[in-house]
Amino acid sequence: MKKRALVTGGAGFLGSHLCDRLLSEEYDVICMDNFFTGSKENIVHLLGNPYFELVRHDVTFPYFCEVDEIYNLACPASPVHYQFDPVQTTKTSVHGAINMLGLAKRLEARIMQASTSEVYGDPEQHPQKESYWGKVNPIGIRSCYDEGKRCAETLFFDYHREYNLDIKVVRIFNTYGPRMNPDDGRVVSNFIVQALRGQDITIYGDGSQTRSFCYCEDLIEGFRRLMQTEEGFTGPVNIGNPGEFTMLELAEKIITLTGSSSKITHKPLPSDDPKQRRPDITLAQEKLNGWEPTIDLEEGLGRTIEYFRSVI
């Protein structure tokens, strides 16, 4: 019999790639989304597949179905979108986690939480290891997302300790690729769209802050390997590409790769914007069968630029 999976946030950027991957592995997939930042365009190619079901539902309300695995990805990931309705963002992470954990408990299903490098906040340790507890502002403009995700992790671990639930927690570092929304507001999509339109490239602050960018395919491979680890391995485990770049370097790369005549302009740095971020992926390498990223920034940006050329 086919294995059945529920993907919350399945019509989003990462969720849609995960649905593709699960279907290619002969899963029966339920994709649940409220279409806040996701889009039907991301999954329209799957709608004719009898093993794919699309459900419009908000994860903050209970949902019942019969599946073997749950991947909880529902949550806006771009600062612009998660700050649009911060109360709903916290609810999505916290009530969403409670609802999905309750479902997993009833079904005795394995459940994965899409957590984030944001749990490390503006980190004082570099690169970030899973053992680092982070430096997060609890009352700032990023807190709805950071603290919501931290609370979701807490809930996952309490369900594991209290009910012996089979949990997997992945801390995702900045991931990019085709199907990011052109208006998403995140740095890779913003810079590519601006470069392709010949608009100024907007660097927030002086551009010396760093991020590490993982191509979506590498991340999804990490998700699948994590979901297949032995029961008892819960994570949290970092998944990301340790290559670290300043936003100025990223802008210059994108200008070169697109052949754009765009100029760089500077805008104010939003508050609490982390100064540096790079995953320590030793644990992923050890526990996920030597997992490591295979697609470097140039190649991944090239593929992403092709995608944006076709949609804008």
What does the binding site for ligand NAD look like in residue numbers (CB under 6 A)? 8-9, 11-15, 33-38, 58-60, 73-77, 92, 96, 114, 116, 172, 174-175
Query: Pairing relation of β-strands 52-56 and 69-72?
Result: unpaired
What's the helix, strand, coil split of the chain in %, to 5?
Answer: 40, 20, 40
Q: Catalytic one among 63, 71, 120, 145?
A: 145
Of 33, 69, 28, the C-alpha closest to 52 is 28
Write down the least CB distance from residue 225 to ligand NAD, Å: 17
- Selection from ligand NAD, ligand UDP, none that 75 binds (CB < 5 to 8 A by kind) is ligand NAD
CA 299 to chain centre: 20
Report the C-alpha gap between 308 and 178 in whole angstroms: 7
Binding partner at 189 among ligand UDP, ligand NAD, none, C-beta below 5 to 8 Å by kind? none
Q: Which residue's structure tokens are 């927030």?
A: 204
Is position 145 annotated as part of the catalytic site?
Answer: yes
Q: Which of 159, 13, 8 is CA-nearest to residue 93?
A: 8
Question: Going by DSSP bridges, is the β-strand pair 264-267/110-116 parallel, antiparallel, or unpaired?
Answer: unpaired
Give the shortest CB-214-to-ligand UDP separation in angstroms. 12
Reference 60, options 72, 71, 43; nearest CA is 72
Considering only 16, 72, 99, 209, the residue that binds ligand UDP (CB under 6 A) is: 209
Regarding 190 and contact with ligand UDP (CB under 6 A), the answer is yes
Q: Which does 18 bind (CB under 5 to 8 A by kind): ligand NAD, ligand UDP, none?
A: none
CA distance linking residue 26 with residue 293, whole number of Å: 24
- The residue within the footprint of ligand UDP, chosen from 174, 212, 241, 258 (CB under 6 A), is 174
Q: Which is nearer to ligand UDP, 200 or 221 (CB)?
A: 200
Nearest CB to ligand NAD, comparing residues 200 and 244: 244
Task: Note whether 53 and 22 are within 8 A (CB).
Answer: no
Tokens of 254: 């994108």
Residue 116's binding partner out of ligand NAD, ligand UDP, none, with CB under 5 to 8 Å set by partner kind? ligand NAD
The answer to whether the CB of 235 falls within 8 A of the CB of 170 is yes
Say whether residue 203 binds ligand UDP (CB under 6 A). yes
Q: Which of 8/212 has CB closer to ligand UDP?
A: 212
Interface residues toward ligand UDP, by CB under 6 A: 78-79, 174, 186-187, 190, 202-204, 209, 211, 247, 270, 273
